[in-house]
Structure 1
Amino acid sequence: MPSPGLPRGPTGSIPVRCRASQRRSRTPVRELFREGRAPLPGHSGIGVRGPRFFLTQPLSPLLGRLVLVLLAASVALGEGARAGNRGRERYEFSEPHMGTVWSITCWSADREVAKAAAADAFRRVDQLERIFTDYDPESEILRLCRAEAGVPHRVSADLFDMLQLSLDAARRTHGAFDITVGPLVQVWRRARRQREYPEASRIEEARAVVGWTNIVLDARHRTALLRRPGMRLDVGGIAKGYAADAALRCLAAHGLRRALVAASGDLAIGDPPPGERGWRIRVGDPGGRTNVLGQVLLLRNAGVSTAGDTEQFVELGGRRYSHVVDPATGVGLTNRLQVTVVARNATLSDGTDTALCVLGVEEGMRVIEQDRRMAALMVIPEGDGYTVRRSRRWPAPAPEPLRR
């Protein structure tokens, strides 16, 4: 029999008006974006200058998984937008959540409506953070990890949805995305703090309880069962994209569909600005110099996520280890691969970019080519520069190798 529910901690739920379930559309990725013809001027930092919004700030720790942002987003409004906005104005709001700065850009005919919608969206993000964080021992996900193993426990609709989507991502990536990797994440966090390679016994002990097939879900009763004692779930590789999608749905519930939610390395993109075919999104340089790739995409109703190790790594014994841990080996990645994914929504893109880093170039490309909802760009260090690989559904030709 399932347990009546997890014991409640001091963090209660926050009422919000936008709790629609995650959309699982099969829309092909080519319908989501068109390539821009010319690059936009580069800029560093988060802010507004004239008609443009810029995002190039590196990602801070998110729920224990440090996913480096390699993406610079630039939202530019042309003459057509200014001529056709029909009384709508552009509004921007920002708040700190999940260890980074979240920004909302939206169009509305009423400032108070925009303000209320943004506040509702940020409350939703805060609510999800309280459920998913692995920094608060009383979060729902950690209470599930402490609950009796081998017994089904009833969980909230949000946590159940997250677990379902995470298992879908694990199947899609052949286990390269695995939220049971939490014990290994803890081992490598300690290694980065102490700047020493983890003992082999610690890695093996952690690996013994890692494996996404050890999670059993029952949709009818909305329960989750963890097969092994000592399992620790870490949804940091997907939670930010999931929350960004939820925030975008909150804005839509207020009638604001022309909106973009930016959570550092993850973007949830709605309908385009007035008079525009899409939001102008620029892919940045893994070395930190924005706009070296010089590629602008026009995106609408899509998600964009980037993963890599440009800043989040540790050097041990002359070798560089990423914060991203391979669930199969228990060791931080050393391939220095940078991946940007464009998908039907930010949950899909966020749950895929890190997995492609784990899989590597060839296997990662095989996985991405099998899913019509996504496209990927990989930046691979090579000699003194970089080479770039794009999946077939990525619209732009490959640029010249980048120079450091």
Structure 2
Amino acid sequence: MITGMVAMFLTGATAARTPEALRRFEFSRTVMAAPMNLVLYAADPEVASRAAEAAFARARALDAIMSDYDPASELSRLSAAAGGGFVALSDDLWRVLVRSQELSAATEGAFDVTIGPCVALWRRARRSRELPAAEELAAARARCGHRLLVLDVERRSARLDRSGMRLDLGAIAKGYAAQEALFAIEKLGVARALVDMGGDLALGDPPPGARGWRIGVAPLRDGVPSLYLWLSRCAAATSGDVHRFVEIEGRRYSHVLDPRTGVGLTDRSCVTVVAPDAAAADALATAVSVLGPERGLALLDGKAGAAGRVVRVVDGAEEIRESARWKTLPVFVPEEHRARPSGSPSSPVKKGGAAEPKR
């Protein structure tokens, strides 16, 4: 996960004096089964509280639409209609599915929200620590495929062409919610704000007097970041298996699945993406994880405003790959890490750029 080091997130709200007669406030709730943290600058507690409640309310409303755990959610109702006709969609679900299908086409299926049947198998595998049976996986894969999700632009409706299909928005919903929460804050006149939705960050104007929000880039191994970015008016997200994985029969499987195989990724990697909005950052981070550094960073170079960094283990050492636009981002390296490679304070590091043809 990416951490915003400008804020030590606390339960409830706290305030500190800053320039421009603005005060800093922090709020925290659990939404979408993840910590949702807000940092914002406002003139008084009442304004800050209204903005925070608007953000939390917007995120909760989106959870009620996009949860695949809640059988009453709009997403679950759509999945339940698989194999039938078109189902009319809310504006939010329509926008998310349109963006998801666009990325599916651009990645030739490396990003795919119809992966739900395979996700269900791997959720069970993480609990039982047993691999899905080959026949079960084959049956699940037969119910997946982004071409089986058909969108009707005129009626803003969707059809799942095969019975037993199940949508999973785990790679885009939190990012979309983070961005929408930021919009809700800004609508109330609070421009200097940060929304952290379980590690998906939506960033407004920077804190007063600062060049940006100081954002820690997640390391491959659990620990304190050795590299930071100054960011504002954009979004950031990280995809990887630092915290969410399962080891079965001596092999490590990420919670991120490759839709083309239905199996969890097995190479150790951590992908950080900066993009114009949080839904894009969230989805692109997953897509790059699946595609790998060569194709993944090429994908980012073709997306306006997108940048990325891939850290993975190769022959026992950490290899760092960066997109062309990543090299233009404002970077901060703490003094204690400046004598060491920025990818890892304690491990061997290979460093290269996305422009190099070989890994």
Q: Same fold (TM over 0.5)?
A: yes
Q: Which position in structure 1 is the counterpart of 2:354?
A: none
Check whether the contact 1:83–1:275 (CA below 8 A) recurs between aligned residues. no
Check whether the contact 1:173–1:352 (CA below 8 A) recurs between aligned residues. no
Greater RCO between the two (CA within 8 Å, min separation 6)? 1
Q: CA deviation at 1:400?
A: 5.3
Distance in 1 (alpha carbons) for counterparts of 2:134 and 2:17:
64
Check whether the contact 1:170–1:212 (CA below 8 A) recurs between aligned residues. yes
| Long gaps (5+) in structure 2 | 8-15, 332-339, 348-359
Q: CA deviation at 1:182?
A: 0.2
Q: Which position in structure 1 is the counterpart of 2:232?
A: 300
Alignment of 1:184-263 (within 5 A): 184-263=118-197
Distance in 1 (alpha carbons) for counterparts of 2:163 and 2:66:
19
Distance in 2 (alpha carbons) for counterparts of 1:261 and 1:385:
34
1:176 to 95, 110, 117: 110
1:313 to 210, 231, 245: 245
Q: Which position in structure 2 is the counterpart of 1:360?
A: 292
Q: CA deviation at 1:384?
A: 4.1
Distance in 1 (alpha carbons) for counterparts of 2:212 and 2:129:
45
Check whether the contact 2:227–2:342 (CA below 8 A) recurs between aligned residues. no
1:133 to 60, 67, 70: 67
Q: Which amino acid aligns with 2:107?
A: T
Say if 2:313 is the partner of 1:378: no
Distance in 1 (alpha carbons) for counterparts of 2:278 and 2:341:
25
Distance in 2 (alpha carbons) for counterparts of 1:401 and 1:129:
35
Cα deviation, 1:291-341, whole Å, max 9, x if unaligned, reads 2xx322111111100011122111122111111111111111111111000
Q: Which position in structure 2 is the counterpart of 1:72?
A: 3
Check whether the contact 1:177–1:354 (CA below 8 A) recurs between aligned residues. yes
Q: Go from structure 1 to structure 2 and tell me whether the alpha carbon gap of 1:279 and 1:326 turns closer, same or farther (over 3 Å shift).
A: same
Q: CA deviation at 1:161?
A: 1.3
Distance in 2 (alpha carbons) for counterparts of 1:99 and 1:271:
27
Check whether the contact 2:82–2:161 (CA below 8 A) recurs between aligned residues. no
Q: Go from structure 1 to structure 2 and tell me whether the alpha carbon gap of 1:299 and 1:400 turns closer, same or farther (over 3 Å shift).
A: closer
Distance in 2 (alpha carbons) for counterparts of 1:304 and 1:173:
20
Q: CA deviation at 1:373?
A: 2.0
Check whether the contact 2:235–2:281 (CA below 8 A) recurs between aligned residues. yes
Q: Which position in structure 1 is the counterpart of 2:356?
A: none
Q: Which amino acid aligns with 1:131?
A: I
Q: CA deviation at 1:243?
A: 0.1
Q: CA deviation at 1:75?
A: 1.3
Distance in 2 (alpha carbons) for counterparts of 1:384 and 1:279:
33
Distance in 2 (alpha carbons) for counterparts of 1:221 and 1:179:
21
Q: Which position in structure 2 is the counterpart of 1:343?
A: 275
Secondary structure of the 1:91 match is strand
Q: Which amino acid aligns with 2:305?
A: R
Distance in 2 (alpha carbons) for counterparts of 1:93 and 1:148:
39
Q: Which amino acid aligns with 2:136?
A: R
Say if 2:326 is the partner of 1:394: yes
Check whether the contact 2:174–2:198 (CA below 8 A) recurs between aligned residues. no
Distance in 1 (alpha carbons) for counterparts of 2:17 and 2:118:
54
Distance in 2 (alpha carbons) for counterparts of 1:87 and 1:316:
55
User: What is the TM-score with the length of structure 1 in the denominator?
Assistant: 0.78
Say if 2:212 is the partner of 1:278: yes
Check whether the contact 1:388–1:399 (CA below 8 A) recurs between aligned residues. no
Distance in 1 (alpha carbons) for counterparts of 2:249 and 2:296:
28
Check whether the contact 2:218–2:270 (CA below 8 A) recurs between aligned residues. no
Cα deviation, 1:147-169, whole Å, max 9, x if unaligned, reads 15241111111111111111122
| Long gaps (5+) in structure 1 | 1-68, 77-81
Distance in 1 (alpha carbons) for counterparts of 2:121 and 2:269:
22
Q: CA deviation at 1:88?
A: 1.0
